[in-house]
Amino acid sequence: MRLLSRSSSLALCRLSATLALSAMLSSALATPVMDMRADDYLPMAAELKKSLNLNANQQTLWSQTETKTRNLLRERKARRERLQEATLAGAQSATAELRDLSKAIDEETTLGASEERQLREWWLTVNDALTESQRQMVVQLISEQLQRAQDNGGGARPEHKEEGGEHRSGGRRGGASMKGPGGANISLPGGGS
């Protein structure tokens, strides 16, 4: 007897894939689901890829998706560095208008959200190409990652110093992230930013 309808099963599979593909690339520390960032997870991609024992078609799709992801994150990082410089220059001008500076940040936030949807779709396509046993391996990894996050009180990103000596915790950041590698927040469809 099936407990879930086909559409519920598909939705659960997509949710699992979103979480799995976010966590598959995670560091040793667990991360709350809403704090997951694509650039934090790419270093773990090779290890997960190896454990999944992908066939030739899956490997091709994975490699293409990984390349597209790296390119998008590289472009985003460069764009946000330019935004940082432009915002700093604007803020230092004698006629600085905060509303104008805020407008550029809002545009970056909107573009970033669109990129996050694109990243999820790319990796969900990879998930669609996996076998059921491979998907279960990814789901298991996600489950372990989320359990560690819960065991660690929900937040596992260590606090670290920024260049100016300021402390920043790894919790959820609002608005556009203009510092850091890529600043990609992975979120569930229909969830927050």
Report the C-alpha gap between 153 and 56 in whole angstroms. 40
Mean pLDDT of all residues belonging to the chain = 72
Q: What residues contact residue 164 under an 8 Å CB cut-off, 6+ apart?
A: none
For the entire predicted model, the pTM comes to 0.61
Report the C-alpha gap between 80 and 120 in whole angstroms. 20
Q: For residue range 76-112, list pLDDT tens digits in order.
A: 999 999 999 999 999 998 888 888 889 999 999 999 9
Exposed e or buried b per residue across 17-53, where buried means at least 16 C-beta atoms within 10 angstroms of its C-beta: bbbbbbbbbbeeebbbbebbbbbbbbebbeebbeebe
Q: For residue range 38-84, list pLDDT tens digits in order.
A: 776 777 777 889 999 999 999 999 999 999 999 999 999 999 999 99
CB count in 10 Å sphere of residue 117: 11
Strand partners for 167: 161
Write down the H helix ranges in 53-174.
56-92, 98-129, 132-151
